[in-house]
């Protein structure tokens, strides 16, 4: 019980900290949620802002540098295996080195075009989700629309995220037919079938 109380207190403190930020205030003004959804909307806005901040840190490293660092880390782990006492620890190091090499192999180093910003994409997706769930206005794909304004508010100092709105809007929604069948079996009526 004490662990859940600590977690709730920590979450409340984090929400209170971000509630005073200009990003939060601007996002709250754009969304203008109904009073019965205000607590949940506050948590979701803070989650969206924090996910954009984490993605901004990931955007700083280029794919080539990340691939090189993972390769170097795997090489160091393989070099440490002969000096480890115990077979279980050696197996763990081998498994971790193999994981790092596999992760490095999956990284694609694009040539000739600028990379897409993961942070900007997080801001656009988060804005769409917030407006869909809590907003008084539906997300529209206009430069002067609520979706674009909320995306800029979540990202921070961004001038134009319209290209990311188009990319996000072109992607299919994540509801599969199997999900709808499971929902129907459980007893809820599916939206689309």
Query: Where do the structural domains in the chain lie, given as residue ranges?
Result: 1-60+118-193, 63-114
Residue 171: its pLDDT value, please? Answer: 57
Nearest alpha-carbon partner for 125 in 147, 98, 108:
147
Q: Mean pLDDT score of the chain, rounded to an integer?
A: 78
pLDDT at position 62 is 76
List, for residues 1-41, the tens digit of each pLDDT value.
Answer: 556 677 777 888 888 888 888 888 888 888 888 888 888 88
Confidence at 117, pLDDT banded by 50, 70, 90: confident
C-alpha to C-alpha distance for 192 and 183, rounded to whole angstroms: 11
Torsions phi, psi of 176, nearest 5?
Answer: -100, 165
**Would you tell me how many other CB atoms lie within 10 Å of the CB of residue 34?**
10
**What is the mean predicted confidence (pLDDT) over 49-67?**
81
Give the per-residue pLDDT at 172. 52
Confidence of residue 57 (pLDDT cuts 50, 70, 90): confident
- Of the pLDDT bands very low, low, confident and very high (cuts 50, 70, 90), residue 144 is confident
Q: How confident is the model at residue 192 (pLDDT cuts 50, 70, 90)?
A: very low
Neighbours of 100 (CB within 10 A): 20
**pTM to 2 decimal places:** 0.61
């Amino acid at each position: 019980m004490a662990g859940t109380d600590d977690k709730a207190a920590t979450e409340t403190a984090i929400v209170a900290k971000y509630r005073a930020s200009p990003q939060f205030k601007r996002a709250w003004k754009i969304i203008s949620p109904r009073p019965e959804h205000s607590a949940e909307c506050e948590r979701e806005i803070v989650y969206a802002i924090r996910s954009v901040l984490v993605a901004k840190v990931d955007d700083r490293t280029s794919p080539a540098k990340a691939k090189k660092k993972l390769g170097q880390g795997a090489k160091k782990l393989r070099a440490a295996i002969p000096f480890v006492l115990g077979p279980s620890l050696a197996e763990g190091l081998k498994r971790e080195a193999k994981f790092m090499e596999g992760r490095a192999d999956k990284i694609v180093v694009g040539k000739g075009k600028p990379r897409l910003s993961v942070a900007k994409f997080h801001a656009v997706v988060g804005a769409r989700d917030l407006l869909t769930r809590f907003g008084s206005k539906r997300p529209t794909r206009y430069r002067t629309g609520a979706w674009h304004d909320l995306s800029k508010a979540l990202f921070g100092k961004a001038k134009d995220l319209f290209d990311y709105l188009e990319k996000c809007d072109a992607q299919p929604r994540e509801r599969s037919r199997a999900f709808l069948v499971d929902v129907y079996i459980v007893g809820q009526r599916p939206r689309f079938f």
